[in-house]
């Protein structure tokens, strides 16, 4: 199969462009995954290259010059980005073209994309269900076939969880292996730009293009010259996993059986520190967020209140009007855990637990080549009844956020459909072993067939 | 009896081409907000990238201050809101700065004092604000430029100590080439902490004095503040811990009216930049740029080279003069005192007159030696040396060439001088009469005549001798 | 969680919380979750400050060529000439 066949000519002539627009518009009336959509903006950037002429979408907390950079927030609703993120530049250099910016939970803070101040994104499988978050727009757009791939950002699961909710692949690369330059910071030491795609080959190609050290991001790291071996013999599973929904529990057991059927050995792993993933993750994430979001004051760019009565009043009111409740809550929590007198018991302690978690994974990967875990305890949830409270949603980040604390790569893949919504599982691997996960996913999904919502593709690409 | 304790916080702008964390130029004096980019303006999504030269200069200063150099330093975020700071946190160093626990020696009225250095840390500067009427205006050209902060222990006692510290420190950073030391323009800034207490009781409640933009103001403000604190304590009142501004017009410090506000910087490690561990190559580059401390240099000039105090002090004030001086001595085994005197005397004078800096001029160590040699060997008249220097400054020519072109060679031909002497005597009978009547002062008139005939090329000493001889004096 | 602590925190964060009581509940819920960390024995563990630091990273001291200042000034919510304008801070 040639990579991205059917996508490369989409933007090349008026007829296919019109078809494409119609297809996207049709879906968008239902799912609202894109905050901006324009197939002709930045058209000049489409160069020759492996992705020549391929459209893609970018989460709206990643900078693309000439597009907005709203972060799903009122405070940046009118900001047009004056520059482009390194990861996007690399894709543009490979010939791909940004056609839209995707919706997200405000500043990446949430697990449903319902925390966006600008639009409500629906799950393409069920319009009453959430797309997941925070990269819900990217997940929905890919799942509905609006783009072959999209960029997201993953701070505690923000690529993987919505990918699992919408039935596409989600990759959180090794921390630092993809430049964060141009990714609007939420929790700098945890997050990385990730990839959402339908096909593992596409995901791999995109990852290979965007990965690599960037002079503009001094926390970025070079991939080792020799990639860690991809041969997989042993797969680790966590000894104690509780509180999974019945559908996810069933999918998990089925996935373990499938691993065994591939002739791989399943090894039980115990990392006690994982019990503290959620508090450690939220302590560090909110602490960093409190500083990262201090720059939004209405002085240099972004929303500014009409209240000019004093400097303090102007700043406080601009922030008050510009930020949503969840963002305010996290800024306050982060400010609190850094305060003198509290820092040791919260922030420093969380950083030490982070070390314990990292040590736990290092030890585990002595025994196994990859690990298999659930992504989220539930499938996508319906709005209204049965909805998880914001607090329950945070507790449910335990499987995904572990990888962010440890810095290791993780990949989620769809395993099937239950009750009309996709199920998914997660693979975890040592630093820079992304290709080991691509390889295993290829084998695990080989005979799976297309997991897609009704209305996907419809043969519009001729 | 009261004892006083003064500690200084000095900020210097490093002479890097670009800002600390972005590629904007760090030049001063540009129109407002021309040297800005998404990074130093704190745009969403941007990241800081630490400047190698700033790091190198920071280690240079920490090293020359005898600090323990950090084998692994990193940046911290210092959180507080202020409109001149674009991210509302300052990238600074708190937990593991470039250097700690050093010292710096100063000389106060001939007495040597050692001042302990608490730490040296690299950080970014804020922008500038102009306040007018109901609005304030922000200019971020300076935002993000590299600033090195040096914090002393409270080892200084008097305003004079502090003034001497600033002057010596300023000389040091200029010699090191890391800062231009300009206090008026704010390239070198100083805040002072001062407290007093009864003898033997340790530190008192301190106040912090700001707005000190000259070494003299540092002294005056501290002298005022110590007196003020004494008055307060003598009255049985308590010193309030506060920030006070020096008011140079009225020669007083005044408390800043600050709003009641919670303060907590919430320092935490800057996640965007990894720790920096200086390696051998980095430290070798630092060592290569180390210089002799000006105070040590001055001692060496006085003790080993036997320069006068004036000459030694003049030279160490400007590292460029020191460099030229030492280069000249290295080229030729000239008499140090002689070379120094020419540098401090006519060379400096002519540069000043021409309003040209030493670096801009065409004076070199070789030319300086050549000039001194020409005068010493009698080939160039002392009186013409100034003109030669003036011509070197502007024309980029060697002294010997200038002397030749301008015809400045001294006339050594005795018979030629004899002729001019005769001409002077014959042409001025009245003067001769006066001299012979005992008015010796008139002799200088005749000497002047000889010099005029010679167009200045005769040796005036020789002319005097010959005139005296001819007149039988 | 005492509401005054929340107000102090809000002041440090330059947030104006209209209804601190309402927020206090969500805040307390999270802090209680954070307190779980006290169970962990962290003796001998160094804090992880940088996830995957791979040696020194420094940038050459070379000025960049482009001037974006006008485009950036154009995005200012309020300006006067080439200045960003704000209410007087004195
Ligand atoms: Mg400072
Ligand atoms: Zn800049």
> B143: alpha, beta or left, given left = phi > 0 and alpha = psi -120 to 50?
beta
CB contact under 8 A, A71 and B48: no
C77 lies in a domain? no
Shortest-distance ligand to the CA of residue B147: 1
Q: Is the pLDDT of residue B14 over 90?
A: yes
Same domain, B451 and B317: no
Same domain, A340 and A377: no
Q: Is the pLDDT of residue A313 over 80?
A: yes
Give A-chain residues touching C15 at CB under 8 angstroms. 316, 319-320, 323, 328, 331-332
Give how many domains chain C has, as a whole number.
Answer: 1
Same domain, A290 and A205: no
What integer pLDDT is reported at residue A208 of this predicted model? Answer: 96
What integer pLDDT is reported at residue B430 of this predicted model? Answer: 86
**Residue range(s) defining the domain that contains residue A323:** 277-349
Same domain, A140 and A19: yes
Residue ending a domain, choose from A349, A380, A395: A349
HEC letters along chain C? CCHHHHHHHHHHCCCCCCCHHHHHHHHHHHHHHHHHHHHCCCCCCCCCCCCCCCCCCCECCCCCCCCCHHHHHCCCCCEECCEEEEECCC
Same domain, A306 and A450: no
CB contact under 8 A, B87 and A295: yes
Q: Is the pLDDT of residue B258 over 80?
A: no
Q: Which helix (H) or strand (E) holds A88?
A: helix A86-93
Same domain, B401 and B311: yes
CA-nearest residue to B17 within chain C is C61
What integer pLDDT is reported at residue B429 of this predicted model? Answer: 86
Tell how far the Cα of B92 is from the centroid of ligand 1, in angstroms.
7
A217 lies in a domain? yes
C21 lies in a domain? yes
Do residues B273 and C57 touch, judged by C-beta distance below 8 A? Answer: yes
| Helix-strand-coil split of chain A, %, nearest 5 | 40, 15, 45
What integer pLDDT is reported at residue B248 of this predicted model? Answer: 87
C73 lies in a domain? no
Same domain, B54 and B172: yes
CA-nearest residue to A218 within chain C is C57
The 8-class DSSP code of residue A64 comes to -
Same domain, B269 and B310: no
For residue B106, the distance in angstroms to the closest alpha carbon of chain A comes to: 37
Give how many domains chain A has, as a whole number.
Answer: 2
C20 lies in a domain? yes
**Residue range(s) defining the domain that contains residue B386:** 292-406
Of A190, A302, A353, the CB nearest to C37: A353
B226 lies in a domain? no
C79 lies in a domain? no
B287 lies in a domain? no
Residue of C40, C60, C70, C79 to mutate when probing chain A, most A C-beta within 10 A: C40
Same domain, A214 and A314: no
The residues near B312 (Cβ < 8 Å, ≥ 6 apart) are B298, B301, B302, B340
Straight-line distance from the first to the last Cα atom of chain A, in angstroms, rounded to the nearest whole number: 16
Same domain, B462 and B322: no
Tell how far the Cα of B147 is from the centroid of ligand 1, in angstroms.
8
C75 lies in a domain? no
ipTM of this predicted structure: 0.96
Residues B371-401 pLDDT 10s: 888 888 777 777 778 888 888 888 888 888 8
Same domain, A317 and A456: no
* Burial class, B114, CB count within 10 angstroms (exposed 0-12 / middle 13-18 / buried 19+): exposed
Give the whole-angstrom CA distance, residue B348 versus residue B358.
8
Tell how far the Cα of A65 is from the centroid of ligand 2, in angstroms.
17
A358 lies in a domain? no
The maximal CA–CA distance of chain A, rounded, in angstroms, is 71
Name the least confident of A161-175, A268-282, A349-363, C42-56: C42-56
- In sequence order, what are the beta bridge partners of A193? A153
Residues A175-190 as b or e (16 or more Cβ within 10 Å = b): bbbbbbbbbbbbbbbb
B354 lies in a domain? yes
Chains in contact with chain B (at least 3 beta-carbon pairs closer than 8 A): A, C
Same domain, B267 and B351: no
Do residues B267 and A344 touch, judged by C-beta distance below 8 A? Answer: no
Shortest-distance ligand to the CA of residue B40: 2
Give the pLDDT mean for B250-271. Answer: 84
C71 lies in a domain? no
**Residue range(s) defining the domain that contains residue C13:** 3-36
B9 lies in a domain? yes
Residues 241-280 (A) with a CB less than 8 A from some CB of B = none
Same domain, A45 and A119: yes
C17 lies in a domain? yes
A238 lies in a domain? no
Contact of A301 with chain B, judged by CB distance below 8 Å, is answered with yes
Residue with tokens 């407290």: B195
Same domain, A282 and A315: yes
Same domain, B362 and B273: no
Give how many domains chain B has, as a whole number.
Answer: 3
Same domain, A30 and A138: yes
Its pTM stands at: 0.92
Residue ending a domain, choose from B389, B406, B423: B406
In the sheet where A234-238 sits, what is the strand order? A34-37, A97-102, A55-59, A149-154, A192-197, A169-172, A410-418, A421-428, A370-374, A234-238, A265-269
Do residues C52 and A297 touch, judged by C-beta distance below 8 A? Answer: no
Same domain, B310 and B178: no
Residues B318-368 pLDDT 10s: 889 999 999 988 888 778 988 998 889 888 888 888 888 888 888 888 888
Residues A77-107 pLDDT 10s: 999 999 999 999 999 999 999 999 999 999 9
Assigned token pair, B324? 């030229």
Give the whole-angstrom CA distance, residue B227 versus residue B224.
5
Residues B71-96 as b or e (16 or more Cβ within 10 Å = b): eebbbbbbbbbebbbbbbbbbbbbeb
Same domain, B131 and B171: yes
Active centre residues of A (catalytic) = 59, 134, 158
CATH number for the domain harbouring residue B466: 1.10.10.410
Same domain, B265 and B166: yes
Same domain, A194 and A329: no
A203 lies in a domain? yes
Residues B189-212 as b or e (16 or more Cβ within 10 Å = b): bbbbbbbbbeeeeeebebbbbbbb
Residues B106-136 pLDDT 10s: 999 989 999 999 999 999 999 999 998 899 9
Same domain, A173 and A215: yes
Q: Is the pLDDT of residue A46 over 60?
A: no
Give the whole-angstrom CA distance, residue A42 versus residue A96.
10
Assigned token pair, C78? 């309020």
A167 lies in a domain? yes
CA-nearest residue to B139 within chain A is A300
Residue ending a domain, choose from B281, B310, B343: B281
Residue ending a domain, choose from A319, A349, A379: A349
Tell how far the Cα of B19 is from the centroid of ligand 2, in angstroms.
7
For residue B291, the distance in angstroms to the closest alpha carbon of chain C comes to: 22
Residue ending a domain, choose from B356, B371, B406: B406
């Amino acid at each position: 199969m040639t990579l991205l066949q059917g996508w490369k000519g989409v933007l090349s002539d008026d007829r296919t462009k019109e078809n494409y627009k119609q297809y996207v518009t049709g879906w968008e009336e239902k799912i609202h995954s894109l905050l901006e959509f324009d197939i002709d903006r930045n058209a000049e950037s489409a160069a020759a290259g492996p992705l020549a002429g391929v459209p893609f979408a970018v989460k709206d907390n990643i900078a693309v010059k000439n597009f907005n950079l709203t972060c799903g927030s009122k405070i940046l609703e009118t900001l047009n980005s004056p520059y482009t993120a390194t990861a996007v530049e690399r894709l543009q250099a490979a010939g791909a073209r940004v056609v839209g910016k995707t919706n997200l939970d405000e500043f990446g803070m949430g697990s449903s994309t319902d925390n966006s101040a600008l639009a409500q994104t629906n799950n393409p499988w069920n319009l009453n269900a959430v797309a997941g978050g925070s990269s819900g727009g990217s997940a929905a757009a890919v799942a509905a076939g609006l783009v072959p791939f999209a960029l997201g950002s993953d701070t505690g699961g923000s690529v993987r969880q919505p990918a699992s909710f919408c039935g596409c692949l989600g990759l959180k690369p090794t921390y630092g292996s993809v430049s964060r330059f141009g990714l609007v910071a939420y929790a700098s030491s945890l997050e990385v730009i990730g990839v959402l795609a339908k096909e593992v080959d596409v995901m791999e190609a995109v990852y290979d293009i965007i990965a690599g050290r960037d002079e503009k991001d001094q926390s970025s790291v070079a991939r080792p010259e020799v990639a860690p071996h991809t041969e997989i013999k042993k797969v680790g599973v966590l000894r104690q996993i509780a509180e999974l929904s019945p559908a996810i529990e069933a999918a998990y057991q089925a996935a373990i059986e499938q691993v065994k059927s591939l002739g791989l050995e399943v090894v039980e792993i115990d990392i006690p520190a994982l019990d503290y993933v959620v508090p450690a993750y939220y302590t560090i994430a909110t602490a960093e967020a409190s500083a990262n979001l201090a720059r939004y004051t209405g002085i240099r760019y972004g929303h500014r209140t009409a209240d000019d009565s004093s400097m303090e009043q102007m700043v406080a009111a601009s922030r008050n009007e510009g930020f949503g409740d969840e963002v305010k809550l996290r800024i306050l929590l982060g400010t609190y855990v850094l305060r003198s007198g509290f820092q040791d018991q919260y922030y420093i302690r969380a950083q030490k637990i982070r070390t314990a978690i990292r040590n736990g994974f290092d030890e585990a990967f002595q025994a196994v080549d990859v690990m298999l875990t659930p992504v989220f305890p539930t499938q996508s949830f319906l709005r209204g009844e049965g909805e998880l409270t914001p607090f329950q949603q945070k507790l449910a980040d335990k499987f995904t956020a572990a990888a962010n604390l440890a810095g290791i790569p993780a990949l989620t893949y769809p395993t099937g459909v239950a009750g009309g919504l996709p199920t998914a599982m997660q693979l975890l691997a040592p630093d820079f072993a992304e290709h080991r996960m691509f390889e295993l996913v290829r084998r695990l999904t080989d005979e799976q067939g297309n997991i897609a919502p009704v209305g996907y593709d419809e043969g519009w690409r001729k | 009896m009261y004892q006083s304790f003064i500690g200084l916080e000095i900020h210097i702008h490093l002479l890097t081409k670009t800002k600390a964390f972005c590629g904007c130029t760090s030049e001063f004096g540009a129109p407002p907000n021309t040297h800005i980019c998404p990074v130093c303006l704190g745009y969403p999504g941007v990241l800081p990238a630490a400047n190698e030269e700033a790091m190198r200069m920071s280690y240079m200063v920490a090293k020359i201050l005898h600090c323990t150099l950090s084998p692994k330093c990193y940046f911290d975020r210092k959180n507080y809101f202020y409109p001149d700071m674009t991210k509302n946190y300052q990238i600074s160093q708190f937990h593991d700065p470039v250097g700690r626990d050093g010292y710096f020696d100063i000389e106060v009225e001939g007495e040597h004092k050692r001042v302990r250095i608490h730490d040296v840390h690299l950080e970014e500067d804020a922008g500038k604000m102009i306040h007018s009427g109901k609005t304030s205006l922000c200019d971020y050209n300076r935002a993000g430029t590299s600033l090195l902060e040096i914090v002393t222990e409270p080892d200084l006692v008097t305003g004079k100590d502090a003034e001497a510290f600033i002057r010596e420190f300023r000389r040091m950073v200029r010699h090191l080439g890391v800062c231009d030391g300009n206090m008026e323009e704010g390239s070198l800034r100083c805040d002072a902490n001062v407290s007093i207490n009864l003898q033997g009781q340790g530190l008192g409640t301190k106040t912090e004095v700001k707005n000190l933009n000259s070494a003299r103001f540092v002294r005056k403000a501290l002298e005022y503040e110590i007196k003020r604190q004494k008055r307060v304590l003598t009255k049985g009142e308590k010193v309030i811990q506060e920030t006070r501004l020096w008011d140079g017009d009225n020669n007083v410090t005044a408390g800043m009216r600050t709003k009641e506000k919670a303060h907590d910087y919430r320092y935490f490690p800057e996640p965007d930049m990894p720790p920096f561990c200086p390696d051998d190559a980095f430290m070798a580059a630092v060592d290569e740029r180390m210089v002799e401390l000006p105070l040590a240099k001055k001692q060496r000039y006085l003790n080993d080279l036997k320069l006068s105090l004036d000459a030694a002090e003049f030279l160490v004030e400007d590292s460029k003069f020191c460099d030229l001086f030492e280069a000249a001595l290295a080229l030729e085994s000239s008499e140090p005192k002689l070379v120094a005197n020419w540098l401090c005397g006519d060379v400096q004078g002519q540069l000043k007159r021409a309003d040209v800096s030493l670096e801009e001029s065409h004076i070199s160590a070789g030319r300086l030696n050549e000039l001194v040699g020409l005068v010493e060997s009698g080939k160039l008249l002392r009186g013409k040396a100034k003109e030669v220097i003036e011509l070197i400054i502007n024309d980029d020519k060697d002294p010997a060439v200038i002397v030749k072109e301008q015809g400045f060679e001294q006339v050594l031909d005795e018979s030629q001088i004899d002729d001019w002497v005769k001409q002077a005597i014959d042409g001025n009978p009245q003067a001769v009469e006066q001299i012979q009547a005992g008015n010796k002062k008139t002799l200088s008139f005749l000497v002047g005549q000889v010099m005029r005939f010679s167009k200045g090329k005769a040796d005036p000493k020789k002319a005097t001798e010959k005139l005296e001889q001819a007149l039988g004096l | 969680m005492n509401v005054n602590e929340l107000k102090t925190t809000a002041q440090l964060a330059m947030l104006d919380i209209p209804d601190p009581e309402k927020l206090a509940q969500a805040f307390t819920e999270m802090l209680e979750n954070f307190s779980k960390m006290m169970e962990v024995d962290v003796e001998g563990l160094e804090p992880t400050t940088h996830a995957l630091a791979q040696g020194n990273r420094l940038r050459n001291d070379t000025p960049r060529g482009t001037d974006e200042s006008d485009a950036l000034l154009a995005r200012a919510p309020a300006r006067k000439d080439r200045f960003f304008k704000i209410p007087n801070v004195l």
